[in-house]
Amino acid sequence: MTVDPLFARAMGRAVFPVFAALLVPAAMAAISACSSAGPAVVARVLSYNVHNLFDDVDDGLEYAEFRTDAGWGRDDYYRRLARLDEAIRLVAAGRRLDVVTLQEVESSRVAADFARDFLRGLRYISAGPYGVSNTKVVVLSRRQPVAVRTHRVVELRIVPGRSDSLPPALARRPGRDAVDVTLASPDLRIISVHWKSQAGGEARTEPQRKLEAALVHDLLLHGTGDSQAVLLIGDMNADVDQYRRHGRSFPTAIKRVEDVEEAKAAFGPLRPGIRYLGGDASIDAGALVFRSLWDGVEAPGTYRFRGEWSRLDQAYLSAPERISGTLEVGAHPALTAGDGAPFGFSPRTGAGYSDHYPILVTITRDPAR
């Protein structure tokens, strides 16, 4: 019998069930730094849509192919964790990661298993409430956050003639969590998101993404210090050129600043959002200036559908003048399928990693500035 060496390494460790709280404590560790005269590394943040990461426990949230009656079990689950750990290590290439944020994770319990048995040192887990969604956003950090908040958009159907409070059944199309984490050292705020997918049509699903953008807009206008760096990161299921790519036929959640006035003339008042993000531009109130870290990156994207690449996984940085950031796409050959697209995971064979490439953001401080 052939044994997967990654799986064997994982199963050789003691494994105990852990039900993660909002923060899972661990030993503190010094943040990455560079001792050379050049820019010092403030933080490295990796974001990865891991494409349906489910555990081996049936609790009603999992998709059919990840249920025990479909043959999914503990061995399959730990092989999957081992493969994702391999993917992250390949992209990190020996560099120390300070934060890893994952999208499409079933629960904080799964994140706790991953942190305990694989991502050693990233012991603090920030996530939204259990049971609300089976495609959760989680943030794993090396240092304990000083503040953690989770937010989500829930659209309500208003029933004419009713004056009492709406019952829960009338809540529909809840958005996914925006996990808002603040670290003290460095002074860094990270908002990790996973917006509505484009499945069902981009124009049809864009209103939900615009609601999620409006939520982020409100978060960015409040609770951010003048000297604080803010990183907005995650799978936004949109890129900064989406408005142009669709012939300017409908307003999108993100637009380049030079397209905003044209969109207002064509569609009327626009919903408050992060429509000014992309390149060097500001949000509505002008309180923060963001830069799309994709600017200058040559990689065609992180996700490919029907032969077309998209930069769905985004990162925007607002920071004091001496702080800057770079983005790289984790398009490692091992994470790439034979057709050149990301090597998606198959629960049937256990092969593959994810249908997205991860992105790695490095934030640096220039001591000379």
The tens digit of pLDDT for each residue in 165-198 reads: 555 544 455 678 899 999 987 789 999 999 988 8
- Which of 17, 240, 30 minimizes the C-alpha distance to 116? 17
CB-CB contact of 284 with 274 (8 Å)? no
pTM over 0.85? The answer is no
The answer, yes or no, to whether residue 207 has pLDDT greater than 90, is no
Question: CA–CA distance from 326 to each of 291, 295, 333, 354 (Å)?
Answer: 10, 9, 21, 23
Distance separating alpha carbons of residues 250 and 204, to the nearest angstrom: 10
Distance separating alpha carbons of residues 355 and 309, to the nearest angstrom: 12
Strand segments (E) across 115-200: 124-127, 136-141, 147-151, 155-156, 171-172, 178-183, 188-194
pLDDT band (50, 70, 90) for residue 23: very low
pLDDT on residue 198: 86
Share above pLDDT 90 across residues of the chain, in percent, rounded to a whole number: 48
At 55, the amino acid letter reads D
The tens digit of pLDDT for each residue in 289-334 reads: 678 899 889 999 999 999 999 999 999 888 888 899 999 999 999 9
Domains located in the chain, CATH noted: 42-158+165-364 (3.60.10.10)
CB-CB contact of 116 with 59 (8 Å)? no
Question: Could you give the angle at which helices 108-117 and 74-92 cross, rounded to 10 degrees?
Answer: 60
Query: Parallel, antiparallel, or unpaired: how do β-strands 99-105 and 303-305 relate?
Result: unpaired
The answer, yes or no, to whether residue 19 has pLDDT greater than 90, is no
